[in-house]
């Protein structure tokens, strides 16, 4: 693995344990393996795809990436649901906490457990919604790990909050009286100022182990569509920190049959502005109803830029648009009226962009979370009750435990050094 800033070169194991490179860049693969499509003709399930596609990245690793490992992590389905003859929804939300973050969080947790030394590892994570619950679920009860999950108080949905605060044991939920950006600053400061850096790591999507398993979404969907239509697939990806769409570009780089890639943002339009001006300027995030995408300074932009030779090339290959809250609501209503299909607000940004695309090509929109996590937004719009999946139902009755703090580092430090 090498750093996007070029100064650091490490093994996959070191990249996972370090998270961020020592030159403060992000780790990316030195090179991408190439696959023949014919070798995927007989793949029975996601775990088998995972084994074939991810093994080359783990050459020489202490992580035992075998069939058992993959089956343990990819134990829930990924459904490709047709809306009509050439429009599909890829449902990435059938994991334990109902968002696509479960794939990356579970993969990361299993890797970390195999790579951990004797000492307790403290995993710090700032979340704008779904990462926190996925990480909590993935690490709950794991020996040798304490997880500290910071979320901005009152800025996530009630059900997102329950999924973070219901665990207890080695999971510490911390509600910060501030914004997501302030949560992230607390984590960064703890990581950069610790006297025992090897004791701390982060589970945010800067970690390469969160991104690699997401390549499978695009592998799986592109092969299915190729079989069905004899054509390359086109994707629309709801994006915030740009991790998921980076995995899509990586799958394309690896030779999977992918044609156009469209990015859908919410009203946070830092990327739209960058494309227009050619000058990158981080923005403070603004609150939207697609809250897991409220990002004003996407960390994975560095990984995307690293794929292209210069800004012009980058600009040609990236197609991004910002979708307002009003347009998200209209998309949820439209999709339900046309197809009786209920989208979450994030997935609805991708649906909105279907209006920009050629009708003659197969399109897949990535559905990143289950709508039942956002019942407060969707039910009043559609006037229907969203059935609650059983894995969420189980958590709803549990007792919530959280620590409330002001966004001050001293208080946070006391908690994590306890």
Ligand X SMILES: *Cc1c(COP(=O)(O)O)cnc(C)c1O
Contacts with ligand X by CB under 6 A lie at: 99, 101, 129-130, 205, 238-244, 292-293, 346, 368-369
Minimum gap (Å) between residue 240 Cβ and ligand X: 4
Minimum gap (Å) between residue 42 Cβ and ligand X: 31
Query: Residue 329 to residues 110, 154, 288: CA-CA distances in angstroms?
Result: 37, 21, 11
CB of 51 or CB of 101, closer to ligand X: 101
CB of 138 or CB of 293, closer to ligand X: 293
Alpha carbon distance 128, 203 (integer Å): 13
CB of 228 or CB of 317, closer to ligand X: 317
Strand residue runs (E) in 92-144: 121-126
- Whole-angstrom distance between the N-terminal and C-terminal Cα of the chain? 34
Minimum gap (Å) between residue 312 Cβ and ligand X: 24
Q: In terms of C-beta density within 10 A (0-12 exposed, 13-18 middle, 19 or more buried), how is residue 340 classed?
A: exposed
CB of 115 or CB of 305, closer to ligand X: 305
CB of 124 or CB of 135, closer to ligand X: 135
Minimum gap (Å) between residue 106 Cβ and ligand X: 15
Asked if 5 and 23 touch (Cβ cutoff 8 Å), the reply is yes
CB of 8 or CB of 205, closer to ligand X: 205
> Which residues, in sequence order, are CB contacts of 205 under 8 Å at separation 6+?
104, 131, 211, 241, 243, 299, 300
Query: Residue 413 to residues 173, 186, 349: CA-CA distances in angstroms?
Result: 14, 9, 37
Minimum gap (Å) between residue 129 Cβ and ligand X: 6
Minimum gap (Å) between residue 369 Cβ and ligand X: 3
- Closest to 351 measured CA to CA, from 374, 381, 321: 321
């Amino acid at each position: 693995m090498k750093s996007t800033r070029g100064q650091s070169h490490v093994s996959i194991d070191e990249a996972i344990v370090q998270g961020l490179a020592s030159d403060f860049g992000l780790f990316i693969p030195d090179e991408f393996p190439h696959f023949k499509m014919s070798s995927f003709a007989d793949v029975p399930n996601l775990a088998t795809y995972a084994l074939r596609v991810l093994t080359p990245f783990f050459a020489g690793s202490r992580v035992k990436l075998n069939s058992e490992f993959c089956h343990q992590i990819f134990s829930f389905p990924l459904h490709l649901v047709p809306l009509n003859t050439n429009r599909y929804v890829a449902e990435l939300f059938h994991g334990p906490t109902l968002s696509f973050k479960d794939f990356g969080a579970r993969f990361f947790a299993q890797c970390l457990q195999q790579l951990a030394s004797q000492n307790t590892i403290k995993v710090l994570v700032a979340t704008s919604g779904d990462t926190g619950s996925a990480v909590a679920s993935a690490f709950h009860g794991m020996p040798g790990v304490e997880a500290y999950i910071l979320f901005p108080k009152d800025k996530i949905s009630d059900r997102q909050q329950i999924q973070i605060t219901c665990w207890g044991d080695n999971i510490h939920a911390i509600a910060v009286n501030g914004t997501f950006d302030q949560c992230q600053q607390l984590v960064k400061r703890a990581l950069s100022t610790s006297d025992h850096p090897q004791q701390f790591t982060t589970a945010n999507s800067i970690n390469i182990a969160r991104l690699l398993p997401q390549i499978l979404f695009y592998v799986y969907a592109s092969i299915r569509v190729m079989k069905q239509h004899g054509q390359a697939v086109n994707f629309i990806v709801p994006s915030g920190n740009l991790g998921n769409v980076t995995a899509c570009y990586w799958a394309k780089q690896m030779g999977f049959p992918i044609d156009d890639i469209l990015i859908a943002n919410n009203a946070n339009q830092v990327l739209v502005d960058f494309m227009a001006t050619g000058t990158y300027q981080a923005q403070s995030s603004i609150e939207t109803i697609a809250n897991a995408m409220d990002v004003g300074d996407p960390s994975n932009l560095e990984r995307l830029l690293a794929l292209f030779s210069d800004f012009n090339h980058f600009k040609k290959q990236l197609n991004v648009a910002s979708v307002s809250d009003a347009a998200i609501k209209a998309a949820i209503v439209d999709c339900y009226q046309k197809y009786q299909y209920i989208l979450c607000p994030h997935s609805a940004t991708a649906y909105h962009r279907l209006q920009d695309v050629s009708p003659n090509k197969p399109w897949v929109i990535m559905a990143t979370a289950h709508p039942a996590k956002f019942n407060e937004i969707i039910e009043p719009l559609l006037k229907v009750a969203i059935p609650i999946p059983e894995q969420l139902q189980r958590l709803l009755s549990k007792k919530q435990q959280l620590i409330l703090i002001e966004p001050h580092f001293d208080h946070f430090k006391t908690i994590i050094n306890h």
